[in-house]
Amino acid sequence: MKKLKIVIVAVMVLMAGHTANAQSKYGDTPEDSVACLSNVSLYQEFFKQKSYEQCYEPWREVLKHCPRFSKSIYQRGVTIMKTMINKAENAEQRNAYIDELMAMYDQRIQYFGEEAVVKCMKAYDLSLLRKDAVKEVYEIYADAIRVGAHQIDENYVTLYFKATVEYVRAGHADPTLIIDNYDIASDLLDSLLTLNVDDSVNAAKIRGYIANVESVFSPYASCDQLNEIYQKKFEADPNNVALLKKMTDIMMKKGCTDDNQLFFSATENLHKLEPSPSTAMRMGTMCLGKKQYGKAVEYLQDALKGLTEKKDRYKAYIFLGRSYAGQGSYSAARTAYLNAAEIDRTKGEPYYLLAVAYASSYRTIDDGMGGRSAYWACVDELRHAKQVEPTEEFTAAMDKLISSYSAFFPKKNDAFMLDLIDGKSYVVPGWIGKSTIIRTR
């Protein structure tokens, strides 16, 4: 009985040792460990001496017998394999080495993860080493985006989009893929820019990548081309929510919204199928563009019930104010503009638009001077707009408008007949009801 216990314990120890060894960085068997340790120091010494060609054989043995040894065997492996590729004696040998490098990347993913990042490295190297591997390069990049888009650096996002264009040009896909992947790439870069907005160096670098993507996309980005690509798809499947979202998103990014019936129809269908604050906002802005002010008000009011982001609420109130002004509801327009001003206190736009509303409604003001007192209130708001947003460009624009609107001040004689004297206080009548200072020309 005692001997049996000893045997059982011995077997358990051996099994435990085998299990631990199976997970060891030195290999899965004792033989692997011997081969690993005998080659590691050799390859490392050659690598330190930059004798990369001599590294090759011991490095291969390490990769074969102990693939978990260290991530560095894969990182250094890139240098070793590129040396072998460059020194290849013929095309057949060169291709064999390239295949070996690609397999090494796969093995690194198997044992050390980081799939998205490593696949991008693999795609990049393949694009340099095999100019005709357009299809394979794109598919590797696409896989990387699929498994971990937000783990990828901005330079690889740009290369992914360039690979997309080459893939389409080679006839492997419809031009729609360029538009779809531009949407993905630009969203990823925008996200990275938002994360790095306080880091001026990184932010500038990311903006450079954004400009590169825009440049590559430019030949495919005209509104006519987008309409041509999407019109057939829309007609074939007008209630496809995923398609409608892609269409409207990309058209908004490229500014293909004004007087664009396809964009209007797609957005209208999307709002019916999957209503949301963003679709209501889009419908509102489009109706505003078409001067359908009543519909615009309804959509924008609906949008404001669900919008939470400050920038979105600001825009919605601005558009709502313009819609109210368009239908002559000036008091409601003023309320909307002031709501926008409350959301973003750095913008002079709400006060500029309120000034325009004062000037546009001058005929409704019964002041005995043909409503010209409205221009006093108008100029006051323009001056206030300059104070709120004192940038050089905005100030210059406001100064130009102040000069133009001041030319409509009442004549001195007309004001004098009403006992109105320059510099005295005055309350503009009607809906404006604003206290101001009398000024004549």
What one-character-per-residue DSSP string does 381-436 give? Answer: HHHHHHHHS--HHHHHHHHHHHHHHHTTSPPHHHHHTTT--TTSEEE-TTTT--EE
pLDDT of residue 23: 56
Nearest to 203 by CA among 143, 154, 248, 134: 154
364 within 8 A of 431, measured Cβ to Cβ = yes
Question: Buried (b) or exposed (e) across 56-68, using 16+ Cβ within 10 A?
Answer: bebbbbbbebbbb
- Cα Dmax for the chain: 128
pLDDT tens per residue, the chain (441 residues)? 443 333 333 323 333 444 444 457 888 888 888 888 889 989 899 999 989 999 999 999 999 999 999 899 999 999 999 999 999 999 999 999 999 999 999 999 999 999 999 999 999 999 999 999 999 999 999 999 999 888 888 889 999 999 999 999 999 998 888 888 888 888 888 888 888 888 888 888 888 888 888 888 878 778 888 888 788 888 888 998 988 888 888 788 777 877 788 999 999 999 999 999 999 998 998 899 889 999 999 999 999 999 999 999 999 999 999 999 999 999 999 999 999 999 999 999 999 999 999 999 999 999 999 999 999 999 999 999 999 999 999 999 999 999 999 999 999 988 888 999 999 999 999 999 999 999 999
420 within 8 A of 426, measured Cβ to Cβ = yes
Distance, CA of 147 to CA of 139 (rounded, Å): 12
| Main-chain phi, psi angles of 6, to 5 degrees | -60, -45
The amino acid sitting at 159 is L
Distance, CA of 161 to CA of 165 (rounded, Å): 7
Task: Please provide the size of the chain in residues.
Answer: 441
pLDDT of residue 207: 87
Two structure tokens written together for 302: 């609906």
Query: Which residue is associated with the tokens 């129809």?
Result: 265
| Main-chain phi, psi angles of 238, to 5 degrees | -70, -10
Two structure tokens written together for 296: 């615009």
Q: What Cα–Cα distance (Å) separates residue 90 from each residue in 45, 94, 100, 132, 243?
A: 29, 6, 16, 18, 49
Distance, CA of 141 to CA of 138 (rounded, Å): 5
Report helix, strand or coil for 108.
helix
149 within 8 A of 188, measured Cβ to Cβ = yes
Question: How far apart are the two ends of the chain, measured CA to CA in Å?
Answer: 121
SS3 content of the chain, % helix, strand, coil (to 5): 75, 0, 25
Two structure tokens written together for 104: 């090494």
Two structure tokens written together for 112: 């050390």
Query: Helices 349-360 and 330-343, interaxial angle, to 10°?
Result: 170
The amino acid sitting at 201 is V
